[in-house]
Each structure stands twice: as C-alpha cells, then as structure tokens.
Amino acid sequence: MVVNAQFTINKTPKGNYSDIGDVITYIIKGVNNSRTDIYNLYIEDSLNPSIQFIPGTVTINDTLISQADILSGILTPKLSAGQSLVISYEVVITNTSYINYTNILDSVRYEYSLTQSENTLQNLQINNKENCTKDSPMYNFRQISIEKKLSFDLVKPDMKEISDITSEIEIIKYYVIATPNIKSLENQNLSGYKLIIHGLIKYTVQYVAIDELVYSSHYNIPFSTFIVMAENYEIGSKLDVEGIVEDIYYKKINSREYLTNAIILVNAKILCG
C-alpha cells in the first residue's frame, strides 16, 4: 500500500496463479483521503514481464469499460474528498520464471493535481460513444505551420544548391488536459478537454556542395500543438494520433543556411469498440 497526505492506493490479486495460462484479476483501489477534491487522477500499470493484459476486461467502479487499457493509463477528471475509485482488470500468466507477487504494486504509477488548472501530463483514452462506431471512428485534427532556419555542420562544405528534402513526423507523447468549458468574445469555444501533442519533424536534406558532390544532413525539430476535443467524453477508448507532412517549402539564404516551412496535419482518431 502507498499512502500520502491526500491519496492512498492499493493493488491486490484474485484467483489461482501458479501455472502458465492461469488468469489473475487485479484490483486497484484509490482513495482520496484529503478534505478537498483532487483532479486529473491518472493510474497506469506497466505489469510484470511474466503476465499479459487481457483487453476488454477493465471495470471502473463495477462498470465495464471494454476499450480501456491499463497499460496506457486511465484518467479520472475529478475524485471528490473521501471518494474512492476501484479499477479491476484481468491478466494471463505467460512465463512463470519472472513472477514476483510480493511487489505487485511496484509497477503501478499514479499522478494527480490539487487544482483544475494543474493538469496531469499523460495519455488519456476517451471515447464519444454517441457518435462513434467501430466502422466509423471520429477524427479531430489541426493544421500547423513550422518555420525554421537551418544550417549545415561546420565540417561539411558550403552549399551550391539543395537537391531534395524528405521528412517524417514522430509523435513523442500526447495527453488530455481539463480546461474551462467557455466561449470567448471571438466565438472560440473550449469544450472542457484539450489534447496536447508533442512531436518531432525529422528532415533529411540532400544538397550539392561547391565541390559538386552530394551531401546529406539530418535534423530533428520539436513542435507542440493542441486540439480542442468534444465535450461529451467518456473514459475508455484509445486515441491514435498521427502527424502528416502535407507540404515543405525551402529557400537558400546563403551557402551555409536555408529556410524551411512545413505544413503539418495532426490527426487524432478516436478508436471505438
């Protein structure tokens, strides 16, 4: 059991677990011991290497959430003072040589904040079940422009001209934060949930140098953006976030530097069961 001034968490196993193929039900119970509400309570379990999570078995306070994934994490926007949260899920034993049930809480990680403005930076799997189906997932997207002045390494010769630029997007992490549900004077709406996305745009630049040979340079340029999500979320389903480079503009500044501008589509697909 882990105890601090505000929150207590405990994890217990149920079932027979001695052989490969045996199924264990894990129960994680968290209790808000403080006199105030806590927000953005996030719980995940990385699990022992000898067991495997069984999808479709997660319950939250006795309600089956078939698309929830304890490995990716479960977030509860608010846990009132004195309130408890009970999460259960099933795993199957795949290798008995690594089993150690004396430290089953070691794999559990949790975070929370004491105010709504402090948001836990972790993945939140959510689902709008009213409008989302397995055959017709929902999409939220945002288009951004990333401008960057780049230069070649000093060990490389001066540039005569750029011959080609290729790129790809790597999504580093994403997480949902709670926001006010308000409308601005400019008619901008905040739904109460915002998806924060951090990623890299990876450039490979080929250029012809003054010695008439072709050289290449590689760059990783970080970016961050956000997507305002729909209002009626339910914790449960997974998000699939991807970035697509739609267009790249580049222009030589001098023999060592050049300007790039990439148009990127960041797409968040809400997977439904």
Question: Across the strands, what pairs with 119?
Answer: none
| Residue spans of beta strands (DSSP E) within 179-213 | 193-209
Q: Torsions phi, psi of 81, nearest 5?
A: -55, 130
Kindly give the residue spans of alpha helices, DSSP state H, lying in the chain: none
Q: In the chain, which residues have pLDDT < 50? A: 1-5, 117-136, 236, 273
Tell me the C-alpha distance between 202 and 166, whole Å: 8
Q: Is residue 212 part of a domain?
A: yes
Task: Check whether residue 92 and residue 162 sit in a common domain.
Answer: no
Q: Is residue 73 part of a domain?
A: yes
HSE, side-chain direction, 13 A CA sphere, residue 208 = 4
Last residue of a domain, which of 119, 154, 183?
Answer: 119
For 30, the domain range is: 2-119
Last residue of a domain, which of 87, 119, 151?
Answer: 119
Task: Check whether residue 26 and residue 93 sit in a common domain.
Answer: yes
Task: Check whether residue 80 and residue 186 sit in a common domain.
Answer: no
Q: What is the pLDDT of residue 123?
A: 35
Task: Check whether residue 145 and residue 101 sit in a common domain.
Answer: no
Q: Is residue 100 part of a domain?
A: yes
Q: Is residue 126 part of a domain?
A: no
Task: Check whether residue 143 and residue 266 sit in a common domain.
Answer: yes
Q: Is residue 71 part of a domain?
A: yes
Residue type, 121: L
- The number of distinct structural domains making up the chain is 2
CATH code for the domain in which residue 12 is found: 2.60.40.740
Task: Check whether residue 150 and residue 265 sit in a common domain.
Answer: yes
Residue written as tokens 């003072």?
Answer: 81
Listing DSSP states for 116-147 in one string gives TTS---S---EE-TTT-BTTB-EEEEEEEEEE
Q: Is residue 251 part of a domain?
A: yes
Q: What is the pLDDT of residue 98?
A: 58
Q: Is residue 128 part of a domain?
A: no
Task: Check whether residue 84 and residue 155 sit in a common domain.
Answer: no
Task: Check whether residue 66 and residue 174 sit in a common domain.
Answer: no
Q: What is the pLDDT of residue 150?
A: 93
Task: Check whether residue 115 and residue 18 sit in a common domain.
Answer: yes
Instruction: Tell me the three state secondary structure of residue 76.
Output: strand
Task: Assess contact for 225 and 188: CB atoms under 8 A.
Answer: no
Q: What is the pLDDT of residue 179?
A: 72
E strand or H helix that includes residue 163: strand 159-178
Task: Assess contact for 176 and 206: CB atoms under 8 A.
Answer: no
